């Protein structure tokens, strides 16, 4: 499969930027620079994961005026999600509510003219890979390091600008809670060389789905509960999503580059900015970067066709 060849997202997206006159006025500082010349096609947003973080991101991007979305998630809403998914409501049936459909509904309620493509499959699918490779800003709203590692490699290979969002609660007598936003911009490192990703944990996450199912059966809890390792607190997700969308907005509008790493410590009530220089050597940043189809990312696909 040639991801570049199938990179039809730009062609299939009909540019339909939406700005309510009031929003236009109040968001003047975030208007798209005319110098870009892309007719806002570079404002395509691809949200990978439409759960606790991704639901906030989709909602905020729609309010911000982004008119073109691709939403990627293969899961359905669970009753335990309803305390924090801003795209879900009490009447939404469980089972029967795909997370991508909930996010699409929210976007279209805000902006009926939005162009929303849904990929109701997991990241390790041909459809999801094509969507990520084909263009736009990537918002990784994932809950495991295995998927983060794949998305890191995919974004590096196809030179995608990638915001990775993460939230965490570490329980103890004095709980540590918060999150971070990392913006991978092509020349400032990645999650791996910045040591923001646990490779051992990523390897465990990349076990085949059958093994994960066995583990779920062993513990006697739904798989969805095991996958949902992040904190079940809407406000923490909201803070981190807001940081990411703000960094996107100022960067897309040409005001400044996004900060490489913002770290939110809710327990301390502060957000810090990392000024560390990018590592000089990294397999993903230097060997994989820009190699596109030669990176052989098909090896990760779960729906890969037999040779
Ligand atoms: Zn790197």
In the predicted model, what is the mean pLDDT of residues 21-40? Answer: 51
- Residue 291 CA to ligand 1 center (angstroms) comes to 14
The structure tokens 């005319």 sit at: 34
Asked if residue 7 belongs to a domain, the reply is: no
Rounded Cα distance between 168 and 231, Å, is 6
- Residue 282 CA to ligand 1 center (angstroms) comes to 5
With beta carbons less than 8 A apart as the criterion, state whether 75 and 51 touch: yes
- Residue 192 CA to ligand 1 center (angstroms) comes to 5
Q: Which domain holds residue 234?
A: 40-297
CATH number at residue 256: 3.40.50.720
Look at the chain and report how many structural domains it folds into. Answer: 1
Cα pseudo-dihedral 145, 151, 156, 161, rounded to 10: -110
pTM of the model: 0.84
Asked if residue 31 belongs to a domain, the reply is: no
For residue 280, the 8-state DSSP code is: S
Task: Give the bridge partners for 181, in sequence order.
Answer: 165, 262
Rounded Cα distance between 16 and 18, Å, is 6
Asked if residue 148 belongs to a domain, the reply is: yes
Asked if residue 269 belongs to a domain, the reply is: yes
Asked if residue 29 belongs to a domain, the reply is: no
pLDDT score of 36: 58
- Residue 301 CA to ligand 1 center (angstroms) comes to 22
pLDDT of 216 > 70? The answer is no
Q: Identify the band that residue 30 occupies on the pLDDT scale cut at 50, 70 and 90.
A: low
Q: Identify the band that residue 226 occupies on the pLDDT scale cut at 50, 70 and 90.
A: very low
All residues with CB under 5 Å from ion ligand 1: 189-190, 193, 282, 284-285
Dump pLDDT digits (tens) for 106-157: 999 999 999 999 999 999 999 999 999 998 899 999 999 999 999 999 999 9
Asked if residue 19 belongs to a domain, the reply is: no
- Residue 81 CA to ligand 1 center (angstroms) comes to 33
Name the residue with higher pLDDT: 182 or 252.
182
pLDDT score of 46: 96
High-pLDDT (> 90) share of the chain, %? 65
Asked if residue 27 belongs to a domain, the reply is: no
Q: What angle do CA 174, 177, 183 make, to 5 degrees?
A: 150
pLDDT score of 285: 96
């Amino acid at each position: 499969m040639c991801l570049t060849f199938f990179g039809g997202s730009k062609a299939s997206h009909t540019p339909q930027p939406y700005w309510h006159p009031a929003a236009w006025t109040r968001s003047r500082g975030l208007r798209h620079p005319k110098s870009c010349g892309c007719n806002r096609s570079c404002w395509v947003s691809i949200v990978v994961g439409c759960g606790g973080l991704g639901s906030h991101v989709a909602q905020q991007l729609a309010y911000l005026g982004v008119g073109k979305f691709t939403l990627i998630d293969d899961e359905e809403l669970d009753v335990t999600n309803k305390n924090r998914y801003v795209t879900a409501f009490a009447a939404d049936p469980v089972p029967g509510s795909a997370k991508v459909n909930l996010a699409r509904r929210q976007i279209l309620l805000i902006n009926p003219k939005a162009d929303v493509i849904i990929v109701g499959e997991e990241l390790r699918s041909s459809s999801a890979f094509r969507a990520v490779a084909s263009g736009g800003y990537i918002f990784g709203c994932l809950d495991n390091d295995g998927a983060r590692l794949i998305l890191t490699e995919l974004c590096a290979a196809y030179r995608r600008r990638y915001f990775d969002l993460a939230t965490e609660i570490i329980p103890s007598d004095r709980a540590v809670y918060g999150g971070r936003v990392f913006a991978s911009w092509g020349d400032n490192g990645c999650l791996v060389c910045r040591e923001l990703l646990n490779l051992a944990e990523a390897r465990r996450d990349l076990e085949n789905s059958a093994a994960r199912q066995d583990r779920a059966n062993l513990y006697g809890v739904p798989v969805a509960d095991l996958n949902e390792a992040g904190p079940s607190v809407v406000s923490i997700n909201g803070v981190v999503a807001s940081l990411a969308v703000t960094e996107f907005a100022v960067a897309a509008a040409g005001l400044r580059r996004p900060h490489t790493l913002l770290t939110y410590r809710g327990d301390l009530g502060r957000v810090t900015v990392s000024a560390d220089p990018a590592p000089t050597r990294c397999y993903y940043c230097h060997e994989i970067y820009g190699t596109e189809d030669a990176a052989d990312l098909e090896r990760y696909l779960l729906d890969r066709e037999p040779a």
